Amino acid sequence: MNDLSFAVPLWVWAAVTLGILVMLAVDLIAHRDNHVIGFKEAAVWSGIWIAIGLGFGLILLAWQGGEVSSTYYAGYLIEKALSIDNVFVFALVFSFFAVPDAYQHKVLFWGVLGALAARLVFIFVGAELLQVFFWTAYVFGAFLIWTGWKMAVSKDEEVHPDRNPIVRLVKKLIPTDPKFHGDKFFIRVSGKRIATLLFVVLVAVEATDLIFAIDSVAAVLAITTNTFLVWTANAFAVLGLRSLYFCLAGLLRRFQYLHYGLAVLLVFAGVKLILSETPVGKLPIPLTLGVIVATITVSIGWSLIATRNQPADGSDEQHPAQTGLDETSGTDRPPAEPTQQPAARRSPHPKDMP
C-alpha cells in the first residue's frame, strides 16, 4: 500500500481546511441572489475551481516533491471523473422534483458541505482500517470491482428519488409541505416549523452523495492511504461540483458511454487495491495516472464522436430541470416527468437510491 508518509503539521491541515471553507463562502456570496446560473458563468467558475485544484498540486510539488504531487493528481483526477457522474443523478433528482433553476445552486451548495463532511469521516475510517487490517484491502477492492460492474450493466435501471428510504424517513419524521416556498428549506405554519419540498430535495441529494462518497473515497484510498492527500484530492474535486453541474447540464445526453469509462476506473482501483497486499505490490503512480487519463479521454471522446450529430444544448436558458413554479402567477405546475439520464452511476442498491 502506498502510504507516502510525510509530516503534515496541524497548522497546514487547519490552513487548507480554512481555505476550503473560505472558497465555499465566496461561492455562496457570489450567488446569494439565487439568479439562474448560465453556461458561461458556470464555465468560468469551473475553470477557477479546476485551476485551484491543479495549483494545489504544484504547491505539493514544491513542498514534498514529484511522487507526492503525482499521487495527489491521480487521486484528484479519479475523483473529478467520478464527480462528473454525480451530475447525471443530480440532474435526474432536480428534474424529478421540478426544482426551479434559481434554487438549484443553493441545494448543491449545502449538499457539497455535507459531502465534504462525509468524505472526511470515510477517509480517516477507511485509511485506519487499511493500515490496521490488511484484509480490508481485499474487501474494499472487491467492493470497487463490484460497483464498477454494476455501473457498466445497470445503465437502463430506473431510479426513483421518492423511493429513497432516507427521503421517506424524513417525510415521516418531519412535517413536510409538498411545495416550494422560494429558496427556504423550512417555513412556519401556525407556529409550527415545517420542511418544504426544497428540503426534501436536499435530503435526496445528500443521500445520493453519501453512497457515492463510499466508492469515491475507496477509489482514492486505492492510490494512497495518506489522509492529507486523500482529503485534499476529494475536497478540491468536490468544490467544483456545483459549477460542473451547471456547465454540463445541457451536454449530459452526449456522454452516453462515460459510465463505461468510470466503471473501468473503479475496477482498476479495486484491482490496484487488492494487488497492493500481494507479492505484486503497489502499481507505480505514472501507470495509474496514465490509465486514468487514457480511460477518461477514450470514454468522453467515444461519447462525443458517437453523438456528434445530436445538438448540444449549452445555452444560458436551457437546463435539465423544469421549473415547477409559475413565476408570473405563483401557482404550482405539475412536476415534469423524470427523464432517463444516459449514464447515471448506480449505487450498490440502485432501486433504493435516488
Q: Above pLDDT 70, what percent of the chain?
A: 80
Which pLDDT belongs to residue 295? Answer: 85
Which pLDDT belongs to residue 333? Answer: 43
- Cell triple for 259: 459510465
Distances (CA, A) of 25 to 109, 273, 283: 10, 36, 39
Residue 194 phi/psi, 5° resolution? -125, 135
Please give the mean pLDDT across all residues of the chain.
77
Total structural domains within the chain: 1
Does a structural domain hold residue 243?
yes
- CA 281 to CA 137: how far, in whole Å? 12
* Three-class secondary structure of residue 262 per DSSP: helix
* For residues 153-176, average pLDDT: 73
- CA 290 to CA 275: how far, in whole Å? 18
Helix (H) or strand (E) holding 192: strand 192-195
* For residues 58-72, average pLDDT: 93
Does a structural domain hold residue 278?
yes
Which pLDDT belongs to residue 216? Answer: 80
Which pLDDT belongs to residue 128? Answer: 81
Distances (CA, A) of 76 to 234, 236, 340: 6, 7, 28
Q: Where are the beta strands (DSSP E) in the chain?
A: 186-189, 192-195
Does a structural domain hold residue 176?
yes
Judged against a pLDDT cut of 90, whether residue 215 lies above it is answered with no
Range of the domain at 61: 24-306
Does a structural domain hold residue 323?
no
Does a structural domain hold residue 113?
yes
- CA 171 to CA 189: how far, in whole Å? 17
User: Which residues make Cβ contacts (< 8 Å) with residue 128, sequence separation at least 6?
Assistant: none
Which pLDDT belongs to residue 73? Answer: 94
Query: Closest by alpha carbon to 52, among 84, 7, 22, 8?
Result: 22
* For residues 139-145, average pLDDT: 83
| pLDDT band (50, 70, 90) for residue 329 | very low
Does a structural domain hold residue 346?
no
pTM for the full predicted model: 0.72
Burial class (CB in 10 A: 0-12, 13-18, 19+), 121: exposed
Q: If you ran DSSP here, which 8-state letter would residue 194 be given? A: E
Does a structural domain hold residue 335?
no
Does a structural domain hold residue 136?
yes
Which of 46 and 36 is assigned the larger pLDDT?
A: 46
